[in-house]
């Protein structure tokens, strides 16, 4: 990452001339990953800003961006050193989230059924507005 587009283009020219990406990143990057040679580690879709994602996922392994990538942070040059398929989380990792989602759904259905069966008057205007918004979804 660098602040000016001209600087990013100059770095790309150095890469085109055979310069080492890691050494250039250590020497010229103004971003937090610069001291690590620009290493962002592995990341999946939805974990980085859209500009990062588009550039990183469009690259083939062993290639770098031929044009600077602009983001709110500055101008970037990406080099895809490696990629791997991400594994979905195990059931053990997500069972608490699944349990909460099912409990919320069951609670909503039970209260919806009770409200349909019995006349319920909601006196709190904020609560009534939120409930009305949920029902309209």
Token code pair at residue 23: 């050494």
- CA 57 and chain centroid, separation: 12
Hunting for tokens 């990538």 — which residue is that? 69
Q: Nearest Cα to 30, choosing from 9, 8, 10, 15?
A: 8
pLDDT tens, position by position, 40-66: 888 888 888 888 888 888 899 999 999
Token code pair at residue 4: 């000016």
pLDDT tens, position by position, 60-118: 999 999 999 998 889 999 999 887 777 778 899 999 999 999 999 999 999 888 878 88
Q: How many CA atoms, within 13 angstroms, populate the side-chain half-sphere of residue 83?
A: 14
């Amino acid at each position: 990452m660098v602040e000016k587009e001209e600087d990013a283009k100059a770095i790309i020219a150095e890469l085109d001339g055979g310069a080492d990406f890691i050494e250039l990143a250590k020497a010229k990057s103004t971003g937090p990953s610069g001291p690590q040679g620009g290493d962002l580690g592995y990341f999946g879709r939805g974990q980085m800003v859209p500009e990062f994602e588009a550039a990183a996922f469009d690259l083939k392994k062993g290639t770098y961006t031929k044009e600077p990538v602009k983001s709110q942070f500055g101008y970037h040059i990406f080099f895809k050193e490696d990629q791997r398929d991400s594994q979905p989380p195990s059931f053990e990792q997500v069972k608490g989230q699944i349990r909460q989602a099912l409990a919320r759904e069951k609670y909503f259905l039970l209260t919806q059924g009770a409200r349909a069966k019995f006349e319920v008057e909601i006196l709190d205007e904020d609560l009534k507005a939120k409930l009305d918004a949920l029902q309209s979804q």
